[in-house]
Amino acid sequence: MNNIAVKTTAAKNTATLLITCPDSKGIVAAIADFLYQHNANILHADQHQDAENNLFLMRVEWDLAGFNLLPADFEQHFAEIAKRFSMEWQLKLSQKPLRVAIMVSQYDHCLADLLHRHKNGELVCDIPLIISNHKDTEALAKFYGVDFHYIEVKKDNKPEAEARQFALFDQYDIDLIVLARYMQILSPDFVARYPKQIINIHHSFLPAFIGARPYHRAFERGVKLIGATGHYVTEVLDEGPIIEQDIDRISHRDQVEDLIQKGRDLERIVLSKAVRWHIENRILLYANKTVIFD
């Protein structure tokens, strides 16, 4: 393939620390001093303070070359600071890329897009598994060398179908499930099993046109812009935290079919950004919202 470097390349060896805690004085000083004491070469740092909720959120990424703590020892040494400021924190290592499963039905534009970006080095993760309730995308999966599993979903077999899906997620050691126009509604059990680990693309500008057939309803309402929304899946349909949205302009000349066509480009771009930000550990969640450290 072409050797295109992107922000996060596979070659690099970095650690990323994500922190959420009540806001108070001295947090940055404590973290910065800790990293300095351990000889961290900081590559990116970004933070956000939510005054209304009195929250402090931070993402800091550093080069592990020269860092004088082993990742395995990080928790022990960081514990005092974390406790002092009541932090929730996670440490992510670039050398352990996330393992992503893609679920898809018949529309294959998002799937083809994600697989092509992955091949191009734009999505730094492993994609070992595709699950579909149709066989249409099997050839595409094969072309990109990803295991494809067909699991039929009918009215009366959803529990068994999902049980087979769960088994595959376990077997492939999946960290993130991407619904790339997967046209089945997940059970509450499914959603509860993978909190903050399921990303969906909804083909409207949420909260407009929640639910089914958004392009048809947008057409009937006579809107002048259509949209797409990438969001985490939670128990309430299309109400999860929004990661990214985008829109395109339409006119009276556009029929429903044109909305669907234009929407495909929105869906591809929005979903790929949502997935990229997740696997690059750029998203923090709070109050049903996302902070994107882009």
In order, the DSSP letters of 70-124 are -HHHHHHHHHHHHHHTT-EEEEEETTS--EEEEEE-S--HHHHHHHHHHHHTSS-
- CA–CA distance, 284 with 230 (Å, rounded to integer): 15
Q: Are 278 and 271 in contact (CB under 8 A)?
A: no
Nearest distance from residue 76's CB to its own copies, in Å? 21
Minimum CB separation of residue 170 from its own copies in Å reads 31
Q: Which of residues 116-175 bind its own copies (CB under 8 A)?
A: 116, 120, 122, 136, 139, 143
The answer to whether residue 244 forms part of the interface with its own copies (CB under 8 A) is yes
- Site for its own copies contains 48 (CB under 8 A): yes
Q: Does position 99 bind its own copies by CB under 8 A? A: no
Could you tell me the end-to-end alpha-carbon distance of the chain, in angstroms, rounded to an integer? 26
Q: Which of 136, 238, 246, 254 is catalytic?
A: 238
User: Is residue 63 a contact residue for its own copies (CB under 8 A)?
Assistant: no
Beta carbons within 10 angstroms of residue 73's beta carbon:
11
Binding piece for its own copies, criterion CB under 8 A, among 77-85, 165-173, 191-199, 200-208: 200-208
Which 3 state secondary structure label does DSSP give 198?
Answer: strand
36 closest CA partner among 48, 28, 26: 28
Given the complex with its own copies, which of 157 and 216 has the nearer CB atom? 216
Binding residue count for its own copies, defined by CB under 8 A: 75
Nearest CB to its own copies, comparing residues 162 and 230 = 230
Q: Is 23 a catalytic residue?
A: no
Does 54 participate in binding its own copies (rule CB under 8 A)? no
Catalytic amino acids? Answer: 238
